[in-house]
Amino acid sequence: MAPVSPNVPLIVVRPPSPRLAEGELTHLDRVPVDPDLARTQWEGYVAAFADRGWGVVELDAAPEHPDGVFVEDALVVVDRLAVLTSPGAASRRGELVSARAGVDRLIASGLDLEVAAIEPPGTLDGGDVLKVGDVLYVGRGARTNEEGIRQLAALVAPYGHRVVAVPVEKVLHLKSGVTALPDGTVVGYEPLVDDVAAFVPFLPVPEEHGTAVVDLGGGAVLMSADAPRTAELYRSRGLEVVTVPISEFERLEGCVTCLSVRIRR
């Protein structure tokens, strides 16, 4: 890996496996997934960041792991701390090997990171971790347990962050139900949010696939192309909205947040 340019935000990604359609499902019925279309959509997703000046760090392909493209679940980065998670689904624990190798390459290329890990019996999926200012909302549900949350809280406390645990039962991960706009407003589709009162301020959105946004910087957000009314809502708040089609990943309970790990510097 070449040295990383200073002050350039990065995304860490992994290409989709040819076995993507075999990925874990919790709340959705299994439907056909087109691996070729998924690859095209993934490339468009990555290009949306690159077009905005983000550097792209690609982890080694993991064709044996159907869910490996959802790289956010294996790695959480908070300030200078890179936390290797402890996935709640046993089938996903092998993804940590290439995630750790990617972090090691980042450090070797000049990125200043400390590395820690969630240890069993703790479980933690990165999709359950929502950072809003100095608060980390962490979803407690099927993939993340109390011990995983306790360990994460202890790891991030020295960096000035505190953890707030919230229930997650209606969706797979916390960020399947809520994310946050650049100003810190938490957004979500109310029928899929277990405890709306946990988030202040909270903005309800009109479409399920409008819940997930990524802050691209400069007043722009990235979101699914499958939520046009929500996109207009965000534009009405003065945001520039970049949309990408990710239908093949949404069929597997994925969204725009779980396809990358964002490292802002």
Q: Tell me the CB-side half-sphere exposure of residue 128, using CA atoms within 13 A.
A: 31
Q: Cβ(139)–Cβ(148) under 8 Å?
A: no
Sign of CA pseudo-dihedral 167, 169, 175, 180? negative
Give the integer Cα–Cα distance in Å for 11 and 127. 15
In angstroms, what CA-CA distances link 68 with 140, 164, 252, 260? 22, 27, 12, 11
Residue 126: both structure tokens together: 């990165």
Tallying the residues shown for the chain, one arrives at 265
Q: CA Rg, the chain, in Å?
A: 17
| DSSP summary character for residue 92 | G
Q: Checking DSSP bridges between strand 10-13 and strand 213-217, what pairing results, if any?
A: unpaired
Residue 86: both structure tokens together: 């402890």
Give the residue among 263, 259, 265, 262 at the shortest CA–CA distance from 70: 259
Sign of CA pseudo-dihedral 99, 225, 173, 8? positive
The catalytic site residues sit at: 173, 258
Q: How many helices (H) and strands (E) does the chain have?
A: 6, 15
Give the residue among 259, 258, 261, 255 at the shortest CA–CA distance from 189: 255
